[in-house]
Amino acid sequence: QANPFQHRICRVFSTSDAGDDSMSFEDFLDMLSIFSESATSDIKSHYAFRIFDFDDDGTLDRKDLEKLVNCLTGEGEESRLNNVEMEQLIRNILEESDIDKDGTINLSEFQHVISRCPDFARYSSICG
């Protein structure tokens, strides 16, 4: 099955001036470097944050979190959360992650949460 974040990954790693999210060979190598076992958790979490920041505004807000959940659960009717479930999940994520209580998750808050996940670096590697 295709990676649900493939378009975001291409956007984050693309250096194309055309704005078409195409990747050069160097972009591809940069991506492989980030997803390698040798990349640090800080670097991996920085790029994961950028991939999850769908509107590229530097924060994960409710819309970003909803898109993230939909990518992870699938867009189909049988797997999609209903409005109540989605709202509860987003509320739980923000309660756990939004340290400054501004209704969004910034990079620092995201990295703080990731630091409590010892398997993050292993699961964010291509091989491992």
Cα atoms in the 13 Å half-sphere on the side-chain side of 34: 19
Is the distance from CB of 114 to CB of 45 less than 8 angstroms?
yes
pLDDT at res. 96: 95
pLDDT at res. 3: 85
Q: Counting every residue, how long is the chain?
A: 128
Enter the pTM of the model: 0.86
Per-residue pLDDT of the chain (128 residues; tens, 9 = 90+): 578 899 999 999 999 999 899 999 999 999 999 999 889 889 999 999 999 999 999 999 999 999 999 998 876 667 789 999 999 999 999 999 999 999 999 999 999 999 888 777 666 665 44
Q: Dihedral angle at the C-alpha atoms of 126, 71, 52, 84, nearest 10 degrees?
A: -140
Is the distance from CB of 101 to CB of 121 less than 8 angstroms?
no
The amino acid that residue 115 corresponds to is S
Q: Is 13 exposed, middle or buried (0-12, 13-18, 19+ CB in 10 A)?
A: buried
What the chain holds in terms of domains, given with CATH numbers, is 5-125 (1.10.238.10)
pLDDT at res. 126: 57
Give the closest residue to 64 by CA, choosing from 84, 19, 72.
Answer: 72
pLDDT at res. 125: 60
Structure tokens at 81: 């959360």
